[in-house]
Amino acid sequence: MQTDSSFTFVLFGGTGDLSMRKILPALFEAHRAGGMLADSGKIVAVARHAADRGEYLQWVNEHVKPHVSKKGLDETAWASFLERIEFVNIDLGKAEDFVHLRDAVKDLPGIRVFYLATGPSLFVPICHALASVGLNENARIVLEKPLGYDLKSSNAINDAVGEIFAEEQIYRIDHYLGKEPVQNLLALRFGNALFEPLWRREWVESIQITIAEELGVEARGDFYDNTGALRDMVQNHLLQLLSIVAMEPPHSMDSDSVRDEKLRVLRALKPIDPRDIGKVAVRGQYHSGVIRGTSVPAYATESGVRPDSTTETFVALKVEIENWRWAGVPFFLRTGKRLADRVAEIVVNFRAVPHSALGASALRAGANRLVIRLQPNETIRLYCLAKQPGEGMNLASVHLDLAFDQFFREGQMEAYQRLLLDVINGRLALFVRRDEQEAAWRWVEPILNEWKASNKPPKPYAAGTWGPAASSAMLAQHGTCWLEEEN
């Protein structure tokens, strides 16, 4: 991915956790690869927690190096990467300070990218301050989630940002859309005659999408207790993955063609009747437990969390799409903290053959499935039945693997690296358009409102398990189970 696109990348929240763990390591990997970033490109970090450039670079050395890839830190490449970095110390709450930022970037080349790795409460003040010093021209702005607390607050932020930046300048980032297997899902479906004819209600029995975390809320207790799993993960990550899985073939891979098809999926989501929420939505909260031999505390005792909190740390949903391709096919979405494993995957369960001359094993659910693993190891695995060696026609499950790190010699590109390069090069396809975001909030809000109105506490589950038993029971009502339960 060669580029001659010169740029000035302005990183707000330049000393924050996201900048240290994801953004700067991704930019370094692009720099180290050679040819991905224009030689003239500059990175301008903005923060209050460093006095000058020297102190900031010392901070970067200490906090970014541990997060670069394990293939070895090239000190020469690292030193030349640091030469790209400038630093501006300003108070984001003071619009008058942005004059210093304007002076720092006015002679730097290329398109300006403003990455807001800050809390959402600062999005609008930063945008207004940028406009006040004329920095909203020839610019792109990247907004991190969460973008609002509900539809109303999301619209308020989008309205305010939209007064200053045109829609084609706004990049609402969802890092799951930058993951290699998600890109390969598009290639798998739309580049191979084998799969597209099967990708519909006649041949698909059910689809599961899971994003599970072993970690708890860590240092984000204050934020998470006012957010919960439905807002933090379902409204964005899970619904975006759902739309990629279920979308119709786009006219082309240009940004609006792809996002138009995703939007059609989100608008076709069957509204959940409040009277049915108990049947199709499970919310849980972790209690104390053991994960990989280590005792972990209950959510309610985590730092920053209210002791009587009813915030959910787990959500499982049964979702339906009301269109001809997917009518009647259940999509099961699941996410949670302090679960048994860290895994993100999409499981497509194909229907059993209508009649088998080979015995009952050929008719069992899940005999044919496609598993797309997003993390921790990125693979695509196709399960099918084959005859066991020996006498008789005894069938066993076998699988075909596409392990990217084994098949492709060049290293995989991390999600943030791909997405940051897309911003610099003006590619919008992997970013969320405003109407997509609004459609997701419209579908999620009735669930939030019903949970709030019912005032029922989340179902408890022990840390280190796969969530409340009600999650498994919900799938059992449809004659299926979560992938890990089959064994």
Binding residues for substrate: 175, 179, 213, 232, 337
253 CB neighbour count, 10 Å cutoff: 11
Each residue's pLDDT expressed in tens, for the chain with a length of 487 residues: 445 579 999 999 999 999 999 999 999 999 998 889 999 999 999 998 878 999 999 999 999 988 887 666 788 999 999 999 999 999 998 999 999 999 999 999 899 999 999 988 899 999 999 999 999 999 999 998 878 899 999 999 999 999 999 999 999 999 999 988 888 888 888 988 888 899 999 999 999 999 999 999 988 889 899 999 999 999 999 999 999 999 999 998 888 999 999 999 999 999 999 889 999 999 999 999 999 999 999 999 999 999 999 999 999 999 999 999 999 999 999 999 999 999 999 999 999 877 666 666 655 656 789 999 988 888 888 888 787 787 777 777 777 887 766 666 566 788 999 999 999 999 999 999 999 999 999 999 999 999 999 889 999 999 999 999 999 999 999 989 999 998 6
H or E segment and range at residue 59: helix 53-63
The partner residues of 399 in beta bridges, in order of sequence, read: 383
Sign, CA dihedral 249-251-252-253, equals negative
Among the listed residues 144, 81, 76, 154, the one whose alpha carbon sits nearest the alpha carbon of residue 116: 144
pLDDT reported for residue 399: 78
Tokens of 24: 């700067």
* Contact assessment for residue 129 and residue 59, using Cβ atoms and an 8 Å cutoff: no
- Nearest-angstrom CA–CA distance, 281 and 222: 25
Sign, CA dihedral 30-179-444-265, equals positive
Among the listed residues 54, 23, 28, the one whose alpha carbon sits nearest the alpha carbon of residue 41: 28
pLDDT reported for residue 409: 59
For the chain, the domains span: 7-144, 177-486
In CATH terms, the fold of domain 7-144 is Rossmann fold (3.40.50)
- Nearest-angstrom CA–CA distance, 347 and 382: 10
Among the listed residues 13, 211, 215, the one whose alpha carbon sits nearest the alpha carbon of residue 117: 13
With respect to CATH, is domain 177-486 assigned 3.30.360.10?
A: yes
Strands 281-287 and 289-291 turn out to be: unpaired
φ, ψ at 20 (rounded to 5°): -75, -40
pLDDT reported for residue 365: 59
- Nearest-angstrom CA–CA distance, 382 and 228: 34
Q: Tell me which residues are annotated as active site.
A: 237
Binding residues for NADP(+): 48, 91-92, 145
Binding residues: 48, 91-92, 145, 175, 179, 213, 232, 337
Residue type, 379: T
